[in-house]
Amino acid sequence: MAKTEAPARTKINYLTALKEAIFEEFERDADLVGMGEDIGLLGGAFGVTDGLLDKFGRDRVFDMPISEAAIVGTACGLCLNGKKVMVEMQFIDFISCGFDQIVNMTATYHYRTAGEVSMPMVIRGPAGGYGGGALYHSQMNEAWFANSPGLKIVCPSTPADAKGLLKSAFRDPNPVMVYEMKELYRRRDIEEEVAVGDDAIVPIGKARVRREGDDVTIVTYGNNVYHALAAADNLASEGFSAEVVDIRSLVPLDEATIKESLAKTNRLVVVNEAPRTCGFAGEILARLAEEAFELLDAPPMRVTRLDTPVPWVKPLETFVLPSVDKITETALRACRY
């Protein structure tokens, strides 16, 4: 009998890719449970966990009170008792309310037990600006946690990476934070075919070159990847070829791929939408200045949010956040240095 071919996959959006990862991993691992504010009956503020409660029941999907400290603390206890836990932050901004439980408890257990205890927890939630969410619903606070040994941090920019990195996070024996770009959740123009099952897995700690070029390397992640790609088009019209590196994983950081790109271009621009002071863009610049200074033909530069909260009014939001024009201008300065 001839083998029946599987039906062709349709393109899906970023949100659906995350949802597929969650459902596949809950199906795969009976020890995996989920908790957060409104993740059950409501299906999450953005619908990422819609249907999870109906499929897996109240023994595995928990609607929690509005206390991020209690949510993460409870998750720690469950991990210590043999469970794997997905924690959803309704907005990543409010992760600060659970900060102590994350950095002093979750992040440190493996170390302070000399490797005997694992903490298989995924902390995920919607992050970032550009949507008019103002100061309480627009933050990128990833640098807080990059400063806390024991945590891995990923920030996908495509549906395939969203699904693949989240699946890897679920299978990691220790805590992984997943910053989901809410402005990408339902963006139609980035929809793509995404694999199912193990074929979808994307390893944590490996960057991806999204566009090849020879004159300047633009390093970024999350929503800013698309600003960088548009800026690369602008640069091409000026006669310069930009290489865009999507790091995907902040901790661990794939420095080798960045260095390989820098060896071609000899110029570096790093973009992130967190504030400039102590943001992760500065960490990347510092590492490359220390370890690949001889490859630089121009000062390494960065494009970041201004050191201010994100305003609500659209022109002001645009003014403080990285943009295509700002990246273009900065990269041109690097190329013409």
**d(Cα 318, Cα 333) in Å, to the nearest integer?**
21
Secondary structure (DSSP) of 275-314: ESTT-HHHHHHHHHHHHSGGG-SS--EEEEE-SSPPPSSH
3-class secondary structure, 86: strand
Residue 127 burial (CB < 10 Å; 0-12/13-18/19+)? buried
Structure tokens at 177: 């934070």
**CA 202 remoteness from chain centre:** 13
φ, ψ of residue 36 in degrees (nearest 5) = 165, 180
- Is it true that the peptide bond before 252 is cis, omega within 30 degrees of 0? yes
The Cα angle at residue 253 between residues 137 and 269, in degrees rounded to 5? 75
Amino acid letter at 178?
V
* Tokens standing for residue 49: 């966990």
List active site positions. 137
Task: Using CA atoms of 142, 145, 151, 153 in order, give the dihedral in degrees to the nearest 10.
Answer: 10
* Rg of the chain over all Cα atoms, to the nearest angstrom: 20
Which helix (H) or strand (E) segment holds residue 63: the answer is strand 61-63
Q: Among positive and negative, which fits the CA dihedral 291, 295, 298, 301?
A: negative
